Structure 1
Amino acid sequence: MAPGIPNAMDRPHFIGIGGAGMSGIAKILAQRGAVVAGSDARESPTADALRALGVSVHIGHAAEHLADDAGCVVVSSAIRADNPELVRAAERGIPVVHRSDALAALMHGLRPVAVAGTHGKTTTTSMLAVSLGELGLKPSYAIGGDLDAPGSNALHGDGEIFVAEADESDRSFHKYAPEVAIVLNVELDHHANYASMDEIYDSFVTFTERITEGGTLVISADQDGARELTRRVAGSVRTVTYGEAADADVRVLSVVARGLTSEVTVLLDGRELGFTVSVPGRHYALNAVAALAAGAALGVPAAELAPAIAAYTGVKRRLQLKGEAAGVQVIDSYAHHPTEMTADLEAMRGAAGDARILVVYQPHLFSRTQELGKEMGAALALADASLVLDVYPAREDPIPGITSEVVIEAARAAGADVSAVRDRGEVPALVAGMAKAGDLVITMGAGDVTDLGPLILDRLAK
């Protein structure tokens, strides 16, 4: 068994190894010396990055891909029970480990920081990991997106800190025992798993109960759901609040936009501290303050950590500039919840000046569209014009009567200029016909809408 690897995970097989969360764990295990294998539905840059680390990646799912000597099979909640590799594991008596249990095992014995919330997890986790790295602390991290290249979503570092996203969608964040937990916001989402806000609050309370003795909860002082959670856990855990609210422990005094960056000033321990955030938007500035507060809770001097945060320059799919052609910039956004959509569109509106903002939006999940489709449509009213694709199903089966028309009708009711597109292959030509020099085009959503960015750029260049 390689050092730092739980026994059953010295020869793991990952089903869906190309996913953001799964590939990160596989990468760390490979860097620690495990013999890692897995399968994914299709080739990808992530698969190539894993192979560069010595990981055996099979394309497609088949029983024969699972080696007889596999120590365990790692799965996420998206893997269905009839997956042939999972069926073979049951036949062979090979242990099945959920992704969250595998990640929890990797964090054991270190100083974990778990970043939770309905949105903003990837950015905040990245900001903290990058800034700690800038200070030479060599953290390990597992992030739900690539920092600068495929495969850069995770790293085994030699330091004692491990920074990881904590996913509330399937309650898997209950598996972690963080020294510091960040809660950015608490909103109703993941409707297939949560029936009400009370269920979500209960789930987040359970997460805070997992904070180790003497640990710290860092939580927003601004967002209504976070304030309610703070009320519910009062007295049970050391809590540090952050935000623009007058009663915040780490109080944001100002956020000043400077083009595609922001200058942030906070009041921390009675002292004003200013620093630069190298991505646009007030919500990203607040994510940076959450990272700063968490680092301070770990004992990292805030005066050193603050300037290091400027080293973070973004995560793929988080307002990522894909390129420019014919004077039109194409930007990719992972936003798929109405709050995220609004935040990203407001950020781009603030940075764009008089430029028009054109959006290609793909609703994500039938259940989310059923519950939040009207709010998605309202968010699109912040754009000058939008094209709306069919719902990206991901792991879900269709829900009768729930289509992208739910979003489109709400957008039109809010006064938005919006058009339905049934054939995504038509999008590049449609955008090229709409866009003029100086415009910004945003591909938005958590599905494969991201693949359209390069195609739009190619069409614009012709």
Structure 2
Amino acid sequence: MSGIALVLHQRGVSVSGSDLKQSHYVREVVEAGIEVFIGHEAKHIDAIKPDVVVISSAIPESNPELIRARELGCEVWPRAKMLAALGRGREEIAVAGTHGKTTTSSMISSMLDHMGCDPAFLIGGIVEEYGTNGRDGKGGYFVCEADESDGSFLYLTPSIAVVTNIEADHLDHYGNLANVEKTFCKFMDLVGDAGCIVINGDSKHLVDLAHSTGRRVVTYGFNDSCDYVCRELQAEPVGVACATSVDTVGTSANAVSTATASSADPTDINFDEHRDAINNRMTITMSSGEQVNVVLSANPGRHNISNATAVIATADVLGLDVHKAAAALSQFKGAHRRFTHVGEVGGITVVDDYGHHPTEIEATLAAAKSLHFKRIVTCFQPHRYSRTQALARQFGSAFDDADVLFVTDVFAAGEMPIPGISGKTIVEAVKQYGHVDDVSFIPIHHGLLDKLCEVCKPGDLLITQGAGDITILGPDFIEAMQERLTATSANTVFAEKGVCATKDANASKGATV
């Protein structure tokens, strides 16, 4: 929503908005000169008298601003309808899928920008190198993240539809996987006769769904039958700093070795050096037989190798030079809250990740495991009661690469509680189906910070995981641990546990505000 406001503002449209509380996104649009009301009240609509009111899928019919807008006869548009309007007149590239759409759409935007195409983009997360999720470029491309959560992505009219995967999610809206798949088929059909579907070919069922539309389909993935195949993966050992250069097959890789895996001590290597452990070099073989070398240095993990392959496939469909596209992609700095480095304290590295579906969690922890930290400590905040209930079994085995797991209370995201469903539901599932010995339930504002201060040790990787306000925990932990370390080194009279407990209380107050 903030990205839409920014792009409209950049196009000279008079824009205002409202949100329930302050956030980075609110501050960004205010700094751009857009009026934002905090809280939802009917008087905001009376004050502005807008022609069009754009709402997100999180806004219920009972919202006072929505009710007042309808009373005044204002046009009410879902987010995706405005996305479609903003993309009109440009070549629209829409990225959909249960997982990976934010990162993939960010990669495509970055790639096009570094190739000098100056695309407009609207994405559900911040693109790190630009510090924003929306920008109105002057080029001929419009890149958007297509949100399937309520089916409103069917307003879009993409020239290229990229689909990363389809799984059972948002079942509060769809009811079952079959309905999810039917809606995705309708989305893919929107590309029309002249368009193209770029689809993850590692799922035959997904490919069959795409072909059922009768549209042009190209596939990407690890499967040899794909049109764009990632045939070679090479993860450099811990401590190897890989140059982000891209050459055609047979040319120099320009890697610079700084340490060997055996000599690396996790307590002595910073996060960037750890992340070099999976600074992946990949060779993509196209259906023509031509090969492209890519170095991917941001957002680690096998899943992001797949996402990068989708980007090269998209570049080729657009008629761009794939080798220049690969070179541009190597400059991608990542998507915010996608394995984002928060900081380090006392030899403990803190990372924040948005993933909240079992498949996303598995991918994040697999990437974390390859970084060779001593332990992985994960704090997971379930997102929505309906998802927790529907996917409890899958959550049970999603955390197997974690050494220590803390599960918090559920972030409701506007849902009403479901009796018997809580963070404890996932803890019970992990104990039944998973392989994490140290797992416990602790509400986020009732002792979790204090417990982390006791449990985390030098050499650990702490991951705050989830789509809710779990993101505040990382900075609070760093501050609390730093105070603890300072108090200890200064031989103060304060007990270490007391320092952490004080910070926990302050963190709770901050979250309430």
The one-letter code of the counterpart of 1:459 is A
Other structure's SS at 1:379 match: coil
Closer, same or farther in 2 for the Cα pair 1:93/1:151, shift >3 Å?
Answer: farther
Other structure's SS at 1:173 match: helix
CA contact (8 A) 1:443 1:452 kept: yes
Other structure's SS at 2:59 match: coil
Tell me by how many angstroms 1:354 deviates: 4.6
Q: 2:233 aligns with which of 236, 255, 261?
A: 255
Counterpart CA distance in 1 for 2:313 and 2:186 is 22
Other structure's SS at 1:428 match: helix
The one-letter code of the counterpart of 2:354 is Y
Q: 2:38 aligns with which of 50, 59, 63?
A: 59
Instruction: Give runs of aligned pairs for residues 209-228 of structure 1, distance below 5 A.
Output: 209-223=189-203, 225-228=205-208
User: Which residue does 2:115 correspond to in 1?
Assistant: 135
User: Which residue does 1:450 correspond to in 2?
Assistant: 471
Instruction: Give runs of aligned pairs for residues 10-159 of structure 1, distance below 5 A.
Output: 22-66=1-45, 67-148=47-128, 152-159=132-139
What is the CA deviation profile of residues 57-83 of structure 1, one whole-angstrom value per residue up to 9, with x for unaligned ones? 111111111235311111112111221
Q: 1:424 aligns with which of 445, 454, 464?
A: 445
Tell me by how many angstroms 1:161 deviates: 0.3
Counterpart CA distance in 1 for 2:20 and 2:205 is 37
User: Which residue does 1:9 correspond to in 2?
Assistant: none
Tell me by how many angstroms 1:224 deviates: 5.1
- Is residue 282 of structure 2 the alignment partner of residue 264 of structure 1? yes
Q: Can you give the 5+ residue segments of structure 2 that lack an aligned partner in the other structure?
A: 237-276, 485-513
The one-letter code of the counterpart of 1:199 is N
TM-score when normalising by structure 2:
0.83
CA contact (8 A) 1:49 1:151 kept: no
Counterpart CA distance in 2 for 1:110 and 1:303 is 24
- Is residue 295 of structure 2 the alignment partner of residue 276 of structure 1? yes
Counterpart CA distance in 2 for 1:150 and 1:443 is 23
User: Which residue does 1:6 correspond to in 2?
Assistant: none
Tell me by how many angstroms 1:377 deviates: 2.4
Find the structure with the greater CA-based Rg: 2
- Is residue 346 of structure 2 the alignment partner of residue 366 of structure 1? no
CA contact (8 A) 1:46 1:151 kept: no
CA contact (8 A) 2:351 2:461 kept: yes
Tell me by how many angstroms 1:423 deviates: 4.7
The one-letter code of the counterpart of 2:352 is D
User: Which residue does 1:314 correspond to in 2?
Assistant: 334
Closer, same or farther in 2 for the Cα pair 1:450/1:149, shift >3 Å?
Answer: farther
Give the RMSD, CA atoms, in angstroms.
Answer: 1.4
Closer, same or farther in 2 for the Cα pair 1:72/1:364, shift >3 Å?
Answer: same
Closer, same or farther in 2 for the Cα pair 1:423/1:47, shift >3 Å?
Answer: closer
Counterpart CA distance in 1 for 2:380 and 2:228 is 35
What is the CA deviation profile of residues 314-347 of structure 1, one whole-angstrom value per residue up to 9, with x for unaligned ones? 1111000000000000000111000000000001
- Is residue 319 of structure 2 the alignment partner of residue 302 of structure 1? no
User: Which residue does 1:293 correspond to in 2?
Assistant: 313
Tell me by how many angstroms 1:381 deviates: 2.2
What is the CA deviation profile of residues 258-285 of structure 1, one whole-angstrom value per residue up to 9, with x for unaligned ones? 3142111110221111111112111011
Closer, same or farther in 2 for the Cα pair 1:356/1:68, shift >3 Å?
Answer: closer
What is the CA deviation profile of residues 371-413 of structure 1, one whole-angstrom value per residue up to 9, with x for unaligned ones? 1122112112220001100111102111111111221011122
Closer, same or farther in 2 for the Cα pair 1:197/1:228, shift >3 Å?
Answer: farther
User: Which residue does 1:332 correspond to in 2?
Assistant: 352
Counterpart CA distance in 2 for 1:75 and 1:215 is 29
Counterpart CA distance in 1 for 2:173 and 2:208 is 21
Counterpart CA distance in 2 for 1:339 and 1:322 is 23
Other structure's SS at 1:363 match: coil
Counterpart CA distance in 1 for 2:192 and 2:58 is 29
Tell me by how many angstroms 1:450 deviates: 0.6
- Is residue 166 of structure 2 the alignment partner of residue 204 of structure 1? no
Other structure's SS at 1:289 match: helix
Q: Can you give the 5+ residue segments of structure 1 that lack an aligned partner in the other structure?
A: 1-21
Counterpart CA distance in 1 for 2:146 and 2:290 is 31
User: Which residue does 1:239 correspond to in 2?
Assistant: 217
Counterpart CA distance in 1 for 2:444 and 2:331 is 40
Counterpart CA distance in 1 for 2:52 and 2:331 is 38
Tell me by how many angstroms 1:424 deviates: 2.4
What is the CA deviation profile of residues 83-140 of structure 1, one whole-angstrom value per residue up to 9, with x for unaligned ones? 1211211221111111111110000110000001000000000001001100110000
Closer, same or farther in 2 for the Cα pair 1:26/1:225, shift >3 Å?
Answer: farther
The one-letter code of the counterpart of 1:418 is V
User: Which residue does 1:7 correspond to in 2?
Assistant: none
User: Which residue does 2:158 correspond to in 1?
Assistant: 178
CA contact (8 A) 1:24 1:151 kept: no
Tell me by how many angstroms 1:429 deviates: 1.7
User: Which residue does 1:434 correspond to in 2?
Assistant: 455
CA contact (8 A) 1:144 1:153 kept: yes
- Is residue 384 of structure 2 the alignment partner of residue 406 of structure 1? no
CA contact (8 A) 1:76 1:98 kept: yes
The one-letter code of the counterpart of 1:305 is A
User: Which residue does 2:248 correspond to in 1?
Assistant: none
Closer, same or farther in 2 for the Cα pair 1:225/1:359, shift >3 Å?
Answer: farther
Identical pairs, percent: 39
CA contact (8 A) 2:409 2:443 kept: yes
Other structure's SS at 2:174 match: coil
Tell me by how many angstroms 1:249 deviates: 0.3
Other structure's SS at 2:132 match: coil
Tell me by how many angstroms 1:441 deviates: 0.1
Other structure's SS at 1:28 match: helix
Counterpart CA distance in 2 for 1:120 and 1:97 is 26
Other structure's SS at 1:318 match: coil
Counterpart CA distance in 2 for 1:377 and 1:332 is 21
TM-score when normalising by structure 1:
0.92
Other structure's SS at 1:226 match: helix
Tell me by how many angstroms 1:231 deviates: 4.7
